[in-house]
Amino acid sequence: MKKILCIGSVTTDVIIKPVDKLPEPGTLQYIDSSNMFVGGCASNASIDLAKLGVPVSLVCKLGKDLFGNFVYETARGYGVDCAGVVFDDSVQTTTSIVCVSSTGERSFLYNGGSTSALTVDEISDEVIDDCDIVFIAGALLNHKLDGEPAAQLFKKAQEKGKFTVMDTAFDPTGRWMSGIEAALPYLDLFMPSIEEAQQIAGKEDFPEIAKVFFDRGVKNVIIKAGKKGAYIHEAGKAEGYFAPTYLSVKPTDTTGAGDSFCAGFLAGLAQGFDFDKSAKLGNAVGTHCVMEIGASTGIKPLADIYKFMEEHTDEVPLD
């Protein structure tokens, strides 16, 4: 099985629910639960992959603080290779307060901290050489890595024969396309969410969005589309298609759903699956994510995911 390198955003998520509105200043509002989990696109995906049973490494920057130790020990405890993790006492570990509504939707209060400080020079050739798939997760939050530095990294990875992948996060700075455009020509696969893709491309429809990315050099495009599943447009094919997801499962918490789809899809590629089969696996892993509170809590080993898929062929046929 191929090994995957996850690079980029990490957080400690403090998840509170339900939060349908914030209290007025000076007042108090009860909630039902509060929990702390590892979050962030790169750390989520790496933990998901490890729980699935896929070889995975994580490269990120953490502060020398309690939150940083929590992220590091949690990821390592699940079997993630953390040899490439960088500790820096000049930054705080990225933290996020995740407000989950009564319908399962999320809003975030975010301290960029260490995620914003990771540089391309802190990513060694050794960790790239040790993997087969290079995945930058949470682009647009990786401020010192976004754009030209990411392009340099992906160009080097492709020259080494690696398969390059990137997904994005919501960009509160509004850079969108300008924040990632330099990296797009070096991507074998680009995997944004529909909300992010629309902002980056300046288009609304899936085929038009995909064309914007293809015109800038991306080889394959996947757009994560929530209840619609995922839109897949492969290199050399005239049209894209939707890979449906499992609508019978009511979400408990959608935190990390997009990251878990990415992990599931990459787990498919790591096993030599084609895009269609990998997307079905991605949707099944994403469905397990939303069953539990926390970005990675609901993820199970691949054997359990496959059993779920076999039991739900009435919703999503395996073939």
Transcribe 98-138 into DSSP letters: EEE-TTS-EEEEEE-GGGGG--GGGS-HHHHHT-SEEEEEE
What are 221's strand-pairing partners? 190, 233
Positive or negative CA dihedral for 18, 21, 22, 25?
Answer: negative
Query: Distance of CA 128 to CAs 24, 121, 241, 262, Å?
Result: 49, 12, 32, 19
pLDDT of residue 2: 98
pLDDT of residue 66: 95
- In CATH, what class is 4-23+30-307? alpha beta
Q: Count CA atoms within 13 Å of residue 266 on its CB side.
A: 39
CB atoms under 10 Å from CB of 76, counted, come to 15
pLDDT of residue 217: 98
> Do 114 and 92 meet the contact criterion of CB atoms below 8 Å apart?
yes
pLDDT of residue 299: 97
> Do 259 and 295 meet the contact criterion of CB atoms below 8 Å apart?
yes
Residues of the chain with pLDDT below 70 are: none
Question: Could you state, in order of their start, the residue ranges of all structural domains in the chain?
Answer: 4-23+30-307
